[in-house]
Amino acid sequence: MKRFTLVLIVFGCAAFASLRYYQNQLRELENNVEGLHEKLPAEFDSFVKWSASIRPLYEKKRPPEPGDWLEKYPEGGQTFAQYVAFRGKQPVQAEVSTIYVQPFGEFDATQEKIVAQTADFMQRYFGLPVKLLPAQPTGEIPPEFHRIRNRTEQVEANWIMRHRLLPEMPADAVAMIGLVTCDLWEGNFNWVYGFASIGDRVGVWSLHRNGDPHASESARQLCLIRTLKTAVHETGHILGIHHCIAYECCMNGTKSQEENDRKPIEFCPECLPKICWACQTNPADRSQQLGEFAKSVGMKKEARFWNTKYERLHP
C-alpha cells in the first residue's frame, strides 16, 4: 500500500511539474508573440498585420489532458520570429519548389482517390506544385526494419526515408513524401502516423491508423481528414516548423487518435505566417483555394472557416 501511494505521489508530482513547465513556456511564447513586431525587420510588417487580423478566429492551446503529447513531452514552441531566424532564408526557391508524393505498395481505388485528394490539398495548402508519382513496390525490407507487432505488419519509417526516398530525390524537390498502407514505427515509438527529417527534406506517413475508408461514407471522410492532417503536419516539419504550443493548431504534437482528432486541420496565426513566408504564398488566395477544396469534398465546417478567413484577409 505504501509503495502504491508513493507511486501516486511521484506520478502526481511529475504531472504537476509537466503542467507548470507547459504553462511557463506558453507564457513566454505569448510574450514573444506580443513583441513580434519588435523582433522582425520592417519587411515582415505585413505578416504581423494579417496574422493579427485572423487571430480572433483561433483558440489558444488548452492545457494538456492526461496522456496528451505535451503532458508527456513538454516543448518550448516556436514563434514566427524564431522560425525566420532558424531558417535564415526561405527554403523554397525557384530551383527547389516542388513537393513530391511517392506511394509505396498496393492501393485500391478508394485509397487512390484519398491519395489524389491529399496531393490536391497539399498544393493548395502550401501554394507549391505537388507531383503525385506512380506507386512503387516497397521492395525487399531487411528483417531488422520489418516486424509484426500485435498481429500488425510494421515497417520502420526511417528505413523508407533513407533507402527508398533519398536515393530517388529529384533535384527540384523541396520535400519528398512517402505514403504507405502498412503501419509505421520509429525508434522508441511503438507506432507513428508519420515521420519526417528537416535536414534531408523527406518524410513518410501511413494510412493504416486513419480508419477503414470502405466502411461508410462518413468513415471515408474521416480517413481523408486524418490523412490530410498528417500530410501537412509532416510537410510542415520538413519545412522546419516545430510543434506548436500557442494555439489549437495542426502543428500540435499528438500521442493518440483521440488527441489527433481534436486538433484542427489548419495552421494557427503563429504557424501560418511560417508557411506563407517559406513558400511565398498569398494567405488570402490560399484561404480561397482551401475553401473551394473543402466544399468539393464535403468538409462543411472547414469550408466555412476558410471562407471566413478569406473575408478577413481579402483586401
Query: What are 214-256's pLDDT values in tens digits?
Result: 999 999 999 999 999 999 999 999 999 999 999 999 999 998 9
pLDDT tens digits, one per residue of 253-273: 998 999 999 999 999 999 999
Residue predicted with more confidence, 13 or 44? 44
Domain boundaries, the chain: 11-313
Alpha carbon of residue 19 to chain centroid: 23
Q: What integer pLDDT is reported at residue 3 of this predicted model?
A: 38
pLDDT at residue 286 tops 50: yes
CA distances from 117 to 84, 126, 238 (A): 30, 14, 21
Residues in contact with 97: Cβ distance below 8 Å, sequence separation at least 6, in sequence order: 128, 129, 172, 174
Q: What integer pLDDT is reported at residue 35 of this predicted model?
A: 39
The count of other CB atoms within 10 Å of the CB of residue 300 is 10
User: Which residue, 152, 174, 182, 176, is CA-closest to 164?
Assistant: 176
Active site residue 71: no
Which range among 71-75, 91-95, 220-224, 240-244 shows the weakest confidence by mean pLDDT? 91-95
- Segment 97-121 mean pLDDT: 95
Lay out the sheet containing 189-192: strands in order across.
146-149, 152-156, 183-186, 189-192
Q: Which CATH architecture has domain 11-313?
A: 3-Layer(aba) Sandwich (3.40)
Q: Tell me the torsion sign for CA atoms 153, 157, 163, 164.
A: positive
Q: Among residues 234, 259, 266, 302, which one is catalytic? A: 234
Cβ atoms of residues 146 and 185 within 8 Å: no
- Segment 141-166 mean pLDDT: 90
- Segment 93-117 mean pLDDT: 93
